[in-house]
Structure 1
């Protein structure tokens, strides 16, 4: 056989907000739906991928509330070979909230009704008196979202509670929902920026004809392998990260194929059959790293199908090269086929967080046809 070398439902709690003098809060329609600023002249949101600007009392950030914020937003990304936080956060106080920060792609206000400092008063002033009353009476309400408050493509989140203790508890108990709000936003931005070329559309058509599946392949990717059960497309720049996307399809046999050890076994079989790092050495092939770090698994819903997500590190069996990956394993019951789809990257000694997020964004374009 041919070989070749190498997002949880969010509960939204919406309140009426009063207009502050500098427009820092989110305006709300009378029907209770968060109303994003819609002026056509709004500038584009700016900032690095995965970056979040958090407006709060900095003294509170130095205490228990700050530790909760770090736990939520700086939780290590699972499955990476080096520790990287889920998001890069910048903490500012209201008096620092200038035009540059207002254009942030991801913006968070942390508001507790407890506190009398100038920063606390400013943040509390983003809510009307009736909104404050609702916060005081319902401690389970903790977040509100909106879009395009100061810039197009901006995501805004308000986190609030009657006091710091309640806010801390809500942050820790709902960390997944808060993280997912921005994870989904970042992956959607990547999907929106995805550009295809005539050549990449041609690859998509060939893969569709051969495997009966559709998956977006960006411009500059090349088709490395296309077989009756396998497709591998990759981006190999002269400088920078190598990005790889592959799909493997086989007859579905039993539920046991979803067991963690069997998914690793399947991945290693695919790697040995199709992918190796040294063209001059056919005995060099891709394997899953499970000695020094174990792959991380979780069950997700992907295209309304039960799916096992796996994240981790890979290497060649002769240790010539390695990197990180994310994969989805699921079944199309109508076709009786099991699909293993993966994105993996090569970028030694560099951060992989945004690269893996980009791979996730590509994987979510997968369809059976």
Structure 2
């Protein structure tokens, strides 16, 4: 009786797998996809930063699952308290119903090691020729696609001939995998953050004064505008405060990119322009370096060498604090160094998505 039940369950799962390939643009290891009319797809759902992972749950508690956790649950650098880069929800194939199918971020983890019903379901999402490719090319381990079951959906297939090989590839390519979803989340935020007539007027003032442009969402106000500085902020009655500022100066030397000099520049800007308490002129923002060091990374921003800095900040009188992300780079044609930053205030609450939102806005920066 148990054997008959197992066969029936396995048959049902294979039927679902076949239906899955009919429903959506399931991309295999050879890059083949089924065309579909995206106009009839529902909108993707789920919370920002949430990823649905379809895999054998038993393997999630073993080596393969540990690799998945290390990549997707890696702490976001520069936050004052530990927060995972993504929120992951792991489901078995038989749990893969319509609610999960329209998740904004979807990951299939497919290993050809294992004979369980879940393993067979996942393996059935690939053709025999794709299976041959996977076994003959162990370095090939991932495939991406868009809008398999929903609009604005990102899909990642991770595959390998066995658990150990796949786990190794996942760990060695962690940043590639993370960036795929990080970029997707920032793009969604950029589309969501709309401008208003008032915020466009602020942008125009900044262009006239500083010769730069940056997206300023509706409900932001212009806190300060000088010949070398702009500060726009969102100050709701309840909830997180969000802030953007831009500073420019004449570029002097490569030494300005040293980490200690970037911190010193930030503190100089903050002391001069960013007040902690409008009613207390002696209150200003400083970079936290005693209990938490800023985290630095060299990146390419607008085809320019850029130093990214993430960390915590506080006021000199310890009245308030938060987290920030910044980019420092040079426009050689103008001979100008730019320091642009987004910082937030939201005590005792999550900052992950707030900082991701700040990153999304910073990437809209342009010199005019």
Q: Into which bin does the TM-score normalised by the smaller protein fall?
A: over 0.9
* 1:146 counterpart residue number: 145
For residues 90 and 201 of structure 2, the distance between their equivalents in structure 1, rounded to whole angstroms, comes to: 46
Structure 2 counterpart SS, 1:307: strand
1:245–1:344 CA contact under 8 A, matched in 2: yes
* 1:157 counterpart residue number: 156
* 2:18 counterpart residue number: 21
Q: CA deviation at 1:38?
A: 2.8
Q: CA deviation at 1:26?
A: 4.1
Structure 2 counterpart SS, 1:79: coil
1:46–1:103 CA contact under 8 A, matched in 2: yes
Q: 1:177 to 1:37 in 2, by over 3 A?
A: farther
Q: Deviations over 1:254-308 (max 9, x none)?
A: 0000000000000000010001212232111100000000000000000000000
For residues 70 and 30 of structure 1, the distance between their equivalents in structure 2, rounded to whole angstroms, comes to: 23
TM-score by length of 1: 0.93
* 1:301 counterpart residue number: 300
For residues 29 and 319 of structure 2, the distance between their equivalents in structure 1, rounded to whole angstroms, comes to: 62
Within 5 Å, give how 1:272-351 maps onto structure 2.
272-351=271-350
Structure ranking higher on relative contact order (CA contacts 8 Å, 6+ apart): 1
Structure 1 counterpart SS, 2:189: helix
For residues 139 and 307 of structure 2, the distance between their equivalents in structure 1, rounded to whole angstroms, comes to: 31
For residues 243 and 229 of structure 2, the distance between their equivalents in structure 1, rounded to whole angstroms, comes to: 13
Q: Which blocks of at least 5 consecutive residues in structure 1 are unaligned?
A: 1-18
For residues 159 and 303 of structure 2, the distance between their equivalents in structure 1, rounded to whole angstroms, comes to: 33
Q: 1:328 to 1:135 in 2, by over 3 A?
A: same
Q: Count the aligned residue pairs.
A: 351
For residues 200 and 96 of structure 2, the distance between their equivalents in structure 1, rounded to whole angstroms, comes to: 44
* 2:351 counterpart residue number: 352
For residues 268 and 364 of structure 2, the distance between their equivalents in structure 1, rounded to whole angstroms, comes to: 25
Q: CA deviation at 1:192?
A: 1.0
TM-score by length of 2: 0.93
For residues 228 and 157 of structure 2, the distance between their equivalents in structure 1, rounded to whole angstroms, comes to: 47
For residues 250 and 346 of structure 1, the distance between their equivalents in structure 2, rounded to whole angstroms, comes to: 27
Deviates more, 1:148-157 or 1:24-33: 24-33
Within 5 Å, give how 1:151-190 maps onto structure 2.
151-190=150-189
Structure 2 counterpart SS, 1:23: helix
* 2:48 counterpart residue number: 49
* 1:104 counterpart residue number: 103
Q: Which blocks of at least 5 consecutive residues in structure 2 are unaligned?
A: 1-15
Q: Which has the higher helix share?
A: 2
For residues 175 and 37 of structure 1, the distance between their equivalents in structure 2, rounded to whole angstroms, comes to: 31
